[in-house]
């Protein structure tokens, strides 16, 4: 946009961005307003409430860049680089999964199980959404987020610097596979939204997901349960007695996932529905027994679990 034609007010910028988007989206003005709102961590009505406000070159450039990303097919969260999660506004980009509303329910379910001073681990933290929400809203003493992706850890750390306050739980992010980077002897609560889509289901996904979001955060092996199996095995060895494992799962595999927590190591395992009544979460409590058994279940290797 040439300097002489650059908009001077929010209303003019909304019109300019809508005209830019008209080449490739169905509702250009709605999306223009959503872009401006997203860039300000504000409701969609922001551009109408601030219609007469002057705009800066930085805002114009950011809005144009976001519009071009939308025209290229990027999800809105990636286009503006922001996503809302519970009480937080977080940076997101193609290195991390976009936080979903149903995952907010995972935080709600975890909160009653976190007592003062608890150590909580968010496995597959991505943007850090779950870990940061729990650090903000719970009485945990320590919250650790892990992710195999170095890029995801960078995003989570960026978000932590932006949203954490001194009174929140001590929070850190570690790179590594599932629980492997956590060296602490005691873990009280493990929360995870692990990859749970089967590789063969890729073509069933919307383009905005399969073409943009990181495959590492989406796919859980041939049956969608590979990483969940391994996490259940690791959690059985690492949780303190009475500790909680809580996972978001594929509703189509609720019974299969619940069966993974049917061993002697777990009690009170159950499926929990989301707000739409789908089997979206599974929870189990580690028994108070020591992690040994005549069958030597603790000695099973990761390779065996991945078969």
3-class DSSP string for 188-227: EEEEECCCCECHHHHHHCCHHHHCCCCHHHHECCCCCCHH
Question: Rounded CA gap, 83 and 268, in Å?
Answer: 34
What per-residue confidence (pLDDT) applies to 3? 60
Every domain of the chain with CATH number 3.40.50.150 lies at 83-306
Measured on CA atoms in the order 185, 191, 193, 195, is the torsion positive or negative? Answer: positive
As averages over each run of 10 residues, the pLDDT of the chain (307 residues) reads: 78 96 95 96 94 96 97 97 96 97 96 96 98 97 97 98 91 97 90 97 94 96 96 95 96 95 92 94 87 42 29
Residues with Cβ within 8 Å of residue 115, at least 6 apart in sequence? 139, 188
Strands 82-85 and 142-147: unpaired
User: Concatenated DSSP letters for 138-195?
Assistant: S--SEEEEEES-HHHHHHHHHHHHHH--TTSPEEEEEESSTTTT---S-EEEEEE---
Reference 259, options 284, 288, 242; nearest CA is 284
Domain boundaries 3-80, corresponding CATH code: 1.10.8.10
If you classify domain 83-306 with CATH, what class do you get?
A: alpha beta
Every domain of the chain with CATH number 1.10.8.10 lies at 3-80
**Count of beta carbons in the 10 Å neighbourhood of residue 226:** 20
Question: Rounded CA gap, 106 and 128, in Å?
Answer: 14
What per-residue confidence (pLDDT) applies to 307? 26
Residues with Cβ within 8 Å of residue 160, at least 6 apart in sequence? 128, 132, 171, 173
**Count of beta carbons in the 10 Å neighbourhood of residue 176:** 13
In the chain, the percentage of residues whose pLDDT exceeds 70 is 93
């Amino acid at each position: 946009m040439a300097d002489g034609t650059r908009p001077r007010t929010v209303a003019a910028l909304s019109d300019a961005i809508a005209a830019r988007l008209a080449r490739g989206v169905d509702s250009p003005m709605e999306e223009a307003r959503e872009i401006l709102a997203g860039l300000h961590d504000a409701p969609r009505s922001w551009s109408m409430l601030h219609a007469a406000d002057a705009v800066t070159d930085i805002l114009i450039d950011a809005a144009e860049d976001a519009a071009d990303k939308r025209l290229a097919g990027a999800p809105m969260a990636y286009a503006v680089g922001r996503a809302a999660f519970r009480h937080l506004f977080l940076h997101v980009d193609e290195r991390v999964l976009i936080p979903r509303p149903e995952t907010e329910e995972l935080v709600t379910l975890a909160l009653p199980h976190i007592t003062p001073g608890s150590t909580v681990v968010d496995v597959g933290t991505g943007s850090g959404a779950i870990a940061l929400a729990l650090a903000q809203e719970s009485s945990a003493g320590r919250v650790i987020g892990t992710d195999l992706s170095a890029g995801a850890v960078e995003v989570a750390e960026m978000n932590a610097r932006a949203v954490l306050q001194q009174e929140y739980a001590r929070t850190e992010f570690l790179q590594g596979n599932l629980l492997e980077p956590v060296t602490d002897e005691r873990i009280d609560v493990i929360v995870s939204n692990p990859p749970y889509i089967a590789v063969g289901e890729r073509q069933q996904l919307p383009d905005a997901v399969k073409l943009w979001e990181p495959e590492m955060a989406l796919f859980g092996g041939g049956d969608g349960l590979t990483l969940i199996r391994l996490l259940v095995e690791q959690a059985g060895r690492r949780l303190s007695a009475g500790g909680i494992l809580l996972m978001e799962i594929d509703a189509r595999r609720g019974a299969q996932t619940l069966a993974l927590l049917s061993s002697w190591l777990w009690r009170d395992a159950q499926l929990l529905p989301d707000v739409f009544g789908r089997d979206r979460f599974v929870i189990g409590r580690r028994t108070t027994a020591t992690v040994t058994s005549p069958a030597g279940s603790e000695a099973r290797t990761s390779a065996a679990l991945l078969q």
